[in-house]
C-alpha cells in the first residue's frame, strides 16, 4: 500500500532537484527596532524537480535575541511549483518584542514616545494560481494573536487618550483575495521585469477575529537593466485599513524594505503611501553598492494623504555581498536617513 501511494505521488511538483542548496550561518541583526542582536539563520533554495524554466524557490528561517531583550523566530518561503502553475508564499513568526509608540498620525511628536511590550504569533500563507502568462490570482489567510500587551496604563498614556484598539491584546483572523502580475526574471534580485500585486483582506468575527476590519494594498515595482550589470529599480506601495483596527494592523512607514531610516511604525495611521528608487551595481568580485531614495507618509483619510504636505524623505546607501552569484542572492547592509532619523540594516536579499 505504501509503495503504491509513493508511486502515485512521487512526481508531485515539490520533488526537489539536485540543484538545491543549503546555507546556515551565524546571524547579526541591526535595525532601529533591534539595535543589535545575535542568532542563527538558514536558507534552502531549490528548483522543483528538473524544472529549469521556473524561478528559484526558497525557504528562510531565523532566530535571534537583541540587546533590547527582544526574541524572534521567523520563517518565510516562496515556492514556485512546476512550470510556475502555482506559487505558494508564507510568512510566520513568534516574537516577544519591547516596542515604541509615538501616537497616531503623520505629525506625531518625537518626544512623546511611549514604550510597550508585546508577545505574539503570526501566520500568513498565500496560494496563487496562474491564469495567464505572468498573471496570477489566489487566496490568503492571516491569523495573528497578540497574547500579551503591556504598557504604562495611566490616564495620560497615549494608548488611553487616543483610545488605541488592541491595547489589551488582540486576536485577528481574516481571509483575502490577491491578484499578481509578475514578470520579474529573478526571485532574489531582479534586473528586469514588472511586478504588481493588489490584495484585499477581510477580518471578521465569523472567522474567529475579535475585531471587524479590512486591509487592502497595492505594490508596484519595475526593474531596468542599465548598461551591462547595473539595475535601476522603482517601487510604489500603499495600504489602507478600515473598520476597528488593532494597533498591530495599522498602516505604517519605516521598515527594512521601504522608508529605510525610520523606526518601523514611527508613523502609523489608517492609510500609508510610499515610493522609492534604487540603483544597484557590482563593484568588484562578490561586492556591490546601492544608492536609494524615497518618500512617504501616513494619513487618516485619502484627502489628507494627497494634500501634498508632510512627505517624509528617505535616502541612503548600501553594500552587497553575493552569497550565491548564480542565484543573485545577496547579503545586504543598508544605512538609511530620514528626518531627524537614521537606521542601519543587515538582511538577506534585496529590499524589493
CA distance 224 to 226: 6
For residue 301, give the C-alpha cell.
483619510
Closest CA to 61 of 35, 84, 36, 94: 94
For residue 242, give the C-alpha cell.
478600515
CA distance 165 to 210: 11
- Contact of 175 with 141, CB cutoff 8 Å: yes
pLDDT of residue 2: 30
The β-bridge relationship of strands 114-132 and 135-151 is antiparallel
pLDDT of residue 13: 39
For 83-132, write each residue's pLDDT tens digit.
899 999 999 999 999 999 999 999 999 889 999 999 999 999 999 999 99
Per domain, the residue ranges of the chain are 14-348
Q: How many CB atoms lie within 10 A of CB 26?
A: 9
For 41-65, write each residue's pLDDT tens digit.
999 988 876 677 788 899 999 999 9
- Contact of 175 with 152, CB cutoff 8 Å: no
Which parts of the chain sit beneath pLDDT 70? 1-20, 49-50, 308
Task: Provide the CATH topology of domain 14-348.
Answer: Porin (2.40.160)
CA distance 324 to 318: 18
pLDDT of residue 220: 98
CA distance 114 to 151: 8
> In whole angstroms, how large is the CA radius of gyration of the chain?
21
Amino acid at each position: 500500500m505504501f509503495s503504491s501511494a509513493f508511486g502515485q505521488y512521487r512526481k508531485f511538483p515539490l520533488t526537489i532537484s539536485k540543484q538545491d542548496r543549503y546555507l546556515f550561518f551565524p546571524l547579526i541583526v541591526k535595525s532601529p527596532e533591534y539595535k543589535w542582536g545575535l542568532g542563527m539563520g538558514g536558507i534552502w533554495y531549490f528548483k522543483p524537480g528538473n524544472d529549469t524554466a521556473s524561478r528559484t524557490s526558497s525557504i528562510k528561517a531565523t532566530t535571534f535575541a537583541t540587546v533590547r531583550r527582544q526574541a524572534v523566530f521567523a520563517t518565510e518561503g516562496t515556492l514556485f511549483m512546476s512550470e510556475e502553475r502555482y506559487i505558494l508564499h508564507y510568512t510566520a513568526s513568534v516574537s516577544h518584542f519591547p516596542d515604541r509608540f509615538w501616537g497616531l498620525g503623520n505629525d506625531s511628536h518625537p518626544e512623546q514616545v511611549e514604550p510597550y511590550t508585546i508577545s505574539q504569533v503570526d501566520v500568513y500563507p498565500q496560494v496563487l494560481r496562474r491564469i495567464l502568462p505572468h498573471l496570477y490570482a489566489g487566496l490568503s489567510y492571516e491569523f495573528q494573536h497578540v497574547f500579551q500587551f503591556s504598557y504604562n496604563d495611566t490616564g495620560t498614556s497615549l494608548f488611553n487618550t487616543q483610545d488605541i484598539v488592541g491595547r489589551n491584546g488582540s486576536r485577528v483572523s481574516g481571509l483575502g483575495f490577491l491578484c499578481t502580475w509578475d514578470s520579474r526574471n529573478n526571485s532574489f534580485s531582479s534586473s528586469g521585469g514588472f511586478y504588481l500585486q493588489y490584495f484585499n483582506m477581510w477580518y471578521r468575527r465569523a472567522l474567529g477575529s475579535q475585531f471587524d476590519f479590512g486591509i487592502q494594498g497595492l505594490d508596484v515595482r519595475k526593474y531596468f537593466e542599465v548598461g551591462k550589470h547595473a539595475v535601476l529599480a522603482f517601487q510604489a506601495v500603499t495600504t489602507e485599513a478600515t473598520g476597528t483596527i488593532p494597533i498591530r494592523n495599522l498602516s505604517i512607514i519605516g521598515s527594512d524594505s521601504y522608508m529605510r531610516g525610520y523606526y518601523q511604525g514611527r508613523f502609523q495611521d489608517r492609510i500609508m503611501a510610499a515610493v522609492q528608487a534604487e540603483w544597484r551595481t557590482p563593484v568588484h568580485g562578490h561586492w556591490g553598492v546601492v544608492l536609494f531614495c524615497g518618500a512617504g507618509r501616513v494619513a487618516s483619510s485619502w484627502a489628507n494623504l494627497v494634500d501634498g504636505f508632510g512627505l517624509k524623505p528617505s535616502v541612503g546607501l548600501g553594500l552587497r555581498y553575493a552569497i550565491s552569484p548564480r542565484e543573485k542572492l545577496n547579503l545586504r547592509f543598508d544605512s538609511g536617513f530620514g528626518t531627524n532619523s537614521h537606521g542601519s540594516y543587515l538582511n538577506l536579499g534585496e529590499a524589493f
